[in-house]
Structure 1
Amino acid sequence: MPDWKSPSELTRDSLLLVKLLHACLGWAIWEYVSHFHYEWDVYRGNRRYRWTIWVYTSCRLAMLSTFTFHAIAINGGTWRHCTTLFMAGMASAYVAISLASLLIVLRITAVWEKKPVVVTVSYIAWLTCLALNVYNVTTLRAAYDGSSRGCLPYDTKSFVFNSIGILASDTVLLVLMLAGILRVRRNAVKNGISRVLYRQGVVWLIVAILVEVPAVAFALLELNDPLTVMFQPVELVSLVICAGHMYRGLLEYVYKPDTNLSLGNGNSTHLLVRSANTAMSSNPVSGPGSSTQSSAGPPGGDVMGTKGSNAAPGYTMQVL
């Protein structure tokens, strides 16, 4: 059994953490650049505008900011303000993770038709995780490391509660989302938008387990400071990328021309979406600064569809 706190082991693990941060930085840049055209098309009016695009964009920008701050810190950009740099980097990281979870909360609100109990539980879980993130940022400390010639965190025991909080809140949110989809009908997952939501929920659950459980395990073991935070960069980039793909995938599916999105069979509710070409020809696409509203939903533009002939009275489904 190696001595995890020996100087040689600390040096080796610190260098491994630096390499991992560089790899995640490259991954984050590639992801942002390769999918920037999506949000750019929304801002130019070539894609349907939804207010949640700002959550999506802020989440991706926060991810880039995180690795930018960390890159400056670990590459010797400064040796006097290590704690400040790492606090800024981790604050950006927690903003990105919180916004990724917020996209899940908004899905839960739509799937459960804004049921007060479910919405309350969802936001309590999300706000609890957010509070733990804020607390963790205030306790973070970093110092210049001569072996790696960069700033590295120390006294990382506070990461334990934060890692557990992120895993617990994501688990609660995913259970609520999957339960909301399956409650419609036993065979709902075989049809329409419910199938897309269900598959995306399962993928998110798998990704969350793969990246969050190791982060919690290493935080609980407290082998040494570099290993305690080793999986956090991987957790951040994986969750943000997964949330971005889910967001784009859902909206691209919803706005297919002449799509009839069903949450079930028979008398179950339907979400009817107009052809994209018809919508554009009859009413211009609303941009971020435009007051023009589409006739596909009520004023405010929050509901993507209209009531179907088989829909429950007064029912409209809200999609991100």
Structure 2
Amino acid sequence: MINWHSPTLEAAEGTALVKLVHVLAGLYIWEFILYLDYEYSIIRGTRKFTWTSLFYVGCRWCTLAAVIIQLVGFDITDGINCQVLVIMTFLFAYLSFLFASSLVILRIHVLWEHNRAVVALTAAILLINTASFLYNAAISRGRWAGNICQINHLVDTKASILSEFSADLVLLVLKLVGILRWKEARQKFGTWRLLYSEGLTWVVVFTLASVPPVVFIILNLNDPMNRMFIVPGMIVMSIGAVRMHRGLADRAALGPQAGAVDAKERFIQTTIHTTGSLPPRYSERGTHVAGDKVSQLA
């Protein structure tokens, strides 16, 4: 039987954790640099700025900050306060989660036509997760274990991790149901095909980002294993959220260059890109009503 609390095994797992985070940090930094032109196009004014762009930029930069802080906790030991690193890690990881969730929630609000019950539910989810973050930041204690800044008894944050998992699950269900309740999504053409694909993609993102951390925190094998998939989960969720945002924004920006797109499809793209709600259910009435609602998605 494996003794998961063996010092030798924990040291080996700690080394594996460091290597995993370094590899994923390199991949994320490559991804970050690869799409810097998106932010640059907003600064230059060649891409329309919308307030949702703040969520996009916040998600990318806060994830980058969390990744860099993790690397500092693994690679630099002299003169560094481990407790400060732990608090900063929680802070930027939470902000990354908040901005990524907000990008998803905006789509949910639009797909549900700003239904008050749905808006209240998503607001409650954000408040609960904010409370969990404050609790984790208050109880977490860092210590140097060799050359690694470890979080003592990460299992004490199990309630928070389960809370975030439940929140992600609720958002996933709301997004999928919100898409499928529209006839156009079931027909899967044009922008609706993109939104439908996003819903399926988010199932994969959710599974990769949220399930492994929950499984290992429940198993509670040891501190390195409890921590093993938290950073990967944050990175996967961040990349998934910002890529979906870029996908819709880039499609809307194509305009007339999008190819053979009929007037109805052009109206959908323009409305979603401009400020944030889906067009009224013109397909059910047989008429187009431009300008009644504006979009907040891209």
What's the TM-score once normalised by structure 2's chain length? 0.88
Q: Distance in 2 between matches of 1:55 and 1:120?
A: 20
CA contact (8 A) 1:110 1:317 kept: no
Deviation at 1:319, TM superposition (A): 3.9
Deviation, 1:28, is 1.7
| 2:169 paired residue among 168, 171, 178 | 171
The residue that corresponds to 1:56 in the other structure is: 56
**What do you get for the CA RMSD once the two structures are aligned?**
2.6
- Give the 3 Å change call, closer, same or farther, for CA 272–253 of structure 1 in structure 2: closer
1:52-77 residue CA offsets vs partner (Å, 9 max, x unmatched): 11111111111111111111111133
Per-residue deviation, 1:315 = 4.7
SS of the equivalent of 1:152 reads strand
1:79·1:151 contact (CA, 8 Å) conserved in 2?
no
> Aligned in 2, Cα 1:212/1:261: closer, same or farther, shift over 3 Å?
farther
Structure 1: distance between partners of 2:4 and 2:35: 40
TM superposition shift of 1:17: 1.1
Q: Which residue of 1 aligns with 2:36?
A: 36
- Kept after mapping to 1: 8 A contact 2:185/2:195: no
Write the distance in 1 (CA, Å) between the matches of 2:187 and 2:136.
39
Pick the aligned partner of 2:252 from 247, 251, 254. Answer: 254
> Judging changes above 3 Å, is the alpha-carbon distance between structure 1 residues 189 and 140 closer, same or farther for their aligned structure 2 residues?
farther
Letter in 1 for 2:120: T
Q: Within 5 A, what are the aligned runs for 1:136-285? A: 136-146=136-146, 149-185=147-183, 188-258=186-256, 271=268, 273=270
Whether the aligned pair in 2 keeps the contact of 1:194 and 1:262 (CA below 8 Å) is no
Which amino acid is the alignment partner of residue 208 of structure 1?
A: F
In structure 2, what is the equivalent of residue 310 of structure 1?
A: 287
Contact 1:69 1:89 in 2 (8 A): yes
SS at match of 1:160: helix
What is the rounded CA distance, in whole Å, between the counterparts of 2:241 and 2:18 in structure 1?
Answer: 25
How far residue 139 of structure 1 moved from its aligned partner, in angstroms, is 1.8
Partner of 1:286: none
How many residues of Structure 1 are paired with residues of Structure 2 in the alignment? 289
Identify if the C-alpha distance between structure 1 residues 169 and 261 changes in structure 2 by more than 3 Å, giving closer, same or farther: farther
Give the AA of the match of 1:132: S
Percent identity for Structure 1 against Structure 2: 29
Equivalent residue letter for 2:232: V
- Tell me, in whole angstroms, the C-alpha distance in 2 between the residues paired with 1:181 and 1:82: 44
**Bigger fraction of residues in helix:** 2
Matched, 1:17 2:14: no
Cα distance in structure 2, aligned partners of 1:175 and 1:257: 31
**C-alpha distance in structure 1 between counterparts of 2:263 and 2:89, whole Å:** 41
Give the unaligned 5+ runs of structure 1: 264-269, 275-295
After superposition, the C-alpha distances for 1:92-119 in whole angstroms (9 at most, x for unaligned) are: 0111011101101111111111111111
- Which whole-Å deviations, capped at 9, do the CAs of 1:235-289 have from their partners, x for residues lacking one? 01111011111000011112221365858xxxxxx62629xxxxxxxxxxxxxxx
What's the TM-score once normalised by structure 1's chain length? 0.82
Q: Using a 3 Å threshold, how does the CA distance of structure 1 residues 306 and 208 change in structure 2: closer, same or farther?
A: closer
Corresponding residue of 1:279: none
